[in-house]
Amino acid sequence: MDTHVIEARGLSKRYGATTAVDRLDFRVEPGRVTGFLGPNGAGKSTTMRMILGLDLPTSGSVLVNGRDYQGIVWPLHEIGALLDARAVHPGRTAYRHLHSLAAANGIPRPRVDAVLEQVGLTSVAHRRVGGFSLGMSQRLGIAGALLGDPGILLFDEPVNGLDPDGILWIRTLMRSLAAEGRTVLVSSHLMSEMALTADHLLVIGEGRLLADTSLDELIARGAGDRVEVRAVERARLAAELREVGAEVTLEPDGTLQVTGVGSAAIGELAAARGHVLHQLRDVTSSLEEAYFRLTEGSVVYRAPVPA
Ligand SMILES: Nc1ncnc2c1ncn2[C@@H]1O[C@H](COP(=O)(O)OP(=O)(O)OP(=O)(O)O)[C@@H](O)[C@H]1O
């Protein structure tokens, strides 16, 4: 049996005329954080719900440790999830909420205290959840996910609305769960955060798989590395660079963005033609740029760009 593995084969979900998830094939492996990215409406939440058996595929399958979620006897021991942190009865205390989850899943009571401690909610354990801040609710949702000490964890937008301390805490937690050999699948819209957290990325658009690759590969592939140049005679330099095959754009702040010719060649050309340079800098593309390039054809909801 594959342990700590999520495997989708031809996974599809249609809602009436909408195809939310379209023949996805992927494996989520243990020991690393896998980021799950895609524009709004790409099908991330639907995929997560199918992994958890909350929604059934129209066709294809997704297996957790080689089985359907429905075939798992004590699900919280195998897979823990944070989907909607606010989906807890507001009149309950954090302790009661976790205690009833534990009781329903055959989890011993001391685990409740252990996870409350782990997420930093011990001091508010007996307060009603209705009065919790978003950050506290996220921590409680994560405590629920960790309760059964599962080998697989799913987090849907865990850092949404959190302050920098909360974001750092969640990032550190996800990285340490992966370092313990667990499988961590996390969806997010925050590219800079994903670049710090994920080792591997699954990118989907309009329900289809666009990339299943390491973070470094995705950035390198979407690269189009460029050189940023500031020169006194920028228009002349731009024209001269174009003559040798470079693509040059002139930014409103006066910087030239050059692709197709490396920084060494630009420096040599500038020296040979008597240019004074104020800056010559290699710029490596970010995950955000690579992501935009990958998903530009599959953004469902796009606002018009203001004129
Ligand atoms: N219960 C449902 N009934 C009908 N359509 C649905 C349902 N759930 C999702 N959809 C549709 O399926 C598509 C995928 O939605 P989903 O919520 O999975 O995307 P997402 O990638 O999680 O988006 P977001 O980033 O906005 O959370 C969307 O077009 C959505 O409107």
- Distance from residue 131's CA to the centre of ligand 1 (Å): 29
9-39 residue pLDDT tens: 999 999 999 999 999 999 999 999 999 999 8
- Distance from residue 81's CA to the centre of ligand 1 (Å): 18
Which residues fall within 8 angstroms of residue 150, CB to CB, at 6 or more apart? 76, 77, 78, 79, 80, 182
- Distance from residue 41's CA to the centre of ligand 1 (Å): 5
Which residues fall within 8 angstroms of residue 231, CB to CB, at 6 or more apart? 237, 256, 270, 275, 276, 277, 278
The closest of 87, 83, 90 to 129, measured between CA atoms, is 90
142-180 residue pLDDT tens: 999 999 999 999 999 998 878 888 899 999 999 999 999
Q: Which helix (H) or strand (E) holds 30?
A: none
CA-nearest residue for atom 26, ligand 1, is: 40
Lining ligand 1 with CB less than 6 A are 15, 18, 20, 38, 40-46
**Which of ligand 1's atoms lies nearest the C-alpha of 39?**
25
Domain spans, the chain: 6-221, 226-283
At residue 85, does pLDDT exceed 80? Answer: no
More confident residue, 260 or 234: 234
The closest of 6, 306, 294 to 152, measured between CA atoms, is 6
Distance CA 296, CA 203 (A): 12
| DSSP 8-class letter at 19 | E
Pocket residue to mutate for ligand 1, from 46, 187, 206, most atoms within 8 A of Cβ: 46
In the structure, what pLDDT confidence band is assigned to residue 222 with cuts at 50, 70 and 90?
Answer: low
Q: What is the mean pLDDT of residues 257-281?
A: 94
What pLDDT is attached to residue 190? 84
Looking at CATH, the fold of the domain delimited by 6-221 is given as: Rossmann fold (3.40.50)
- Distance from residue 245's CA to the centre of ligand 1 (Å): 44
Looking at CATH, the fold of the domain delimited by 226-283 is given as: Alpha-Beta Plaits (3.30.70)
What pLDDT is attached to residue 301? 55
pTM score over 0.90: no
